[in-house]
Amino acid sequence: MSKDAKKNILDAAMKVIAREKISGTRMHMIAKETDRSQANLHYYFPTKNDIMIALLDDIQKQFSENRKQYIDLDNKDVFQNIRGFFEQKEDDILNNKELDYVQLDYWVQGTVNKEIREKFQKTFNIWRSSIKEVLSKGKFKDGADDDYKDMLTYIMVSLMLGASLQYLIDEDKFDLKKYFDAAEGLIGQCLEEEG
């Protein structure tokens, strides 16, 4: 498959899903968005589910690539990297709402589609693994066990997704900057950095 054709189809699928949600998306809508025939679309992706899985893979690849702009284990301390996660999420929420809406819709679809659920679980595992790698560079307060450290990765993901949910539904009442400053402070209280 040509990379350009695949990218064109996935970009179109993103637009249609952001507008119609996954459940309302039809192959003919994606075909129309790409200026292709539906038969041509089926040549590249035989089913809607094939497009949905490929798009989820593409979204994860984008998140991981973009994360490199915010996280630097060699040159930033643990708090700067924690801030990096929150900055990346804030940037996605403010400047790529389409991606955030689609991500939330994948969560919903994961409740009814086993393949999407398993794929989405992997994206969460990648996210938490990246956070754990950052947290492992910090010095935890005395007595912090591995379960506690692992739970912090879940808490950070919840804080970021919670920001998406609340901001996207009520932008006028939700100050992302203050929210992520408070989130960083909460995580900072769980850590003790020598310095």
CATH number of the domain enclosing 131? 1.10.357.10
Domain assignment present for residue 195? The answer is no
Residue 89, SS3 per DSSP:
helix
As given in the structure block, the two tokens for residue 178 are 């203050």
> Which distant-in-sequence residues (6+ apart) come within 8 Å of 152 by Cβ?
131, 135, 187, 190
**pLDDT at site 136:** 85
Domain that holds residue 182: 55-190
70 and 17 fall within a common domain? no
59 and 9 fall within a common domain? no
119 and 67 fall within a common domain? yes
Residues of the chain with confidence (pLDDT) below 70: 1, 140-144, 192-195
**pLDDT at site 141:** 61
81 and 154 fall within a common domain? yes
Helices 3-24 and 48-67: angle between axes, nearest 10 degrees: 110
pTM assigned to the model: 0.89
As given in the structure block, the two tokens for residue 22 are 């996954």
**pLDDT at site 143:** 61
32 and 71 fall within a common domain? no
118 and 153 fall within a common domain? yes
**pLDDT at site 47:** 95
**pLDDT at site 195:** 39
41 and 59 fall within a common domain? no
- CATH code at position 11: 1.10.10.60
**pLDDT at site 194:** 43
8 and 64 fall within a common domain? no
